[in-house]
């Protein structure tokens, strides 16, 4: 199998790799923090008395701002995959025009770049959206635990 790619495809792969690292690092950082917050003792240290709504908003706001990056990363990854598809198809038709004939050998390089960048974009976008849902559910779970922590003491 030929593992050569065009320069635009390589640039797209590099960007997608950077986005995947960013997405995964954010998810791990958030998930480890969530695991710590699942312990009642830790929640009691953070909120020794019943928190006001403003305090809860201030506490969850940075978490929500961080998870807002996941759909952005997913959208940009899908658009980069689409950009790679368009560039690959454009390259394939450009080579076909330059050679003045239609053959599988002429189309193969551009089509390969198109499909591989699309696949890479989806490989970044799908986990990012999954990370978003997991983190949203963890925030909801933790806010419910905080309510339960103070409703049971009354």
> What is the residue range of 102's domain?
7-151
Q: Is residue 48 part of a domain?
A: yes
Q: Which of 85, 80, 89, 66 is nearest to 124 (CA)?
A: 80
Structurally, the chain folds into a number of domains equal to: 1
Helix runs in 38-103, H state only: 40-46, 53-67, 69-99
Residue 107 lies in a domain: yes
Using one digit for the tens of pLDDT, what is the confidence trace for 136-145?
Answer: 999 999 999 9
Rounded to 5°, angle at Cα 11 from 7 and 15: 170
CA distance readout (Å), 86 to 9, 52, 82, 91, 116: 11, 51, 6, 8, 12
Q: Which residues of the chain have pLDDT under 50?
A: none
What integer pLDDT is reported at residue 152 of this predicted model?
A: 61
In terms of pTM, does the model score above 0.75? yes
* Residue 93 burial by Cβ neighbours in a 10 Å radius (0-12, 13-18, 19+): middle
In a domain, 1, yes or no: no
């Amino acid at each position: 199998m030929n593992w050569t790619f065009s320069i635009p495809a390589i640039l797209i792969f590099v960007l997608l790799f950077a986005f995947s690292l960013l997405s995964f690092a954010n998810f791990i950082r958030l998930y480890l923090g969530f695991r710590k917050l699942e312990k009642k003792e830790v929640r009691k240290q953070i909120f020794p008395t019943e928190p006001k709504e403003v305090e809860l908003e201030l506490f969850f706001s940075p978490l929500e701002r961080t998870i807002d990056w996941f759909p952005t990363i997913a959208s940009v990854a899908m658009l980069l995959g689409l950009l790679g598809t368009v560039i690959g198809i454009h390259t394939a038709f450009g080579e076909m025009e330059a050679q003045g004939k239609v053959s599988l050998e002429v189309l193969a390089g551009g089509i390969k770049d198109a499909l591989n960048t699309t696949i890479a974009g989806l490989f970044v976008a799908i986990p990012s959206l999954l990370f978003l849902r997991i983190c949203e559910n963890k925030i909801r779970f933790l806010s419910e635990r905080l309510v339960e922590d103070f409703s049971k003491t009354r």
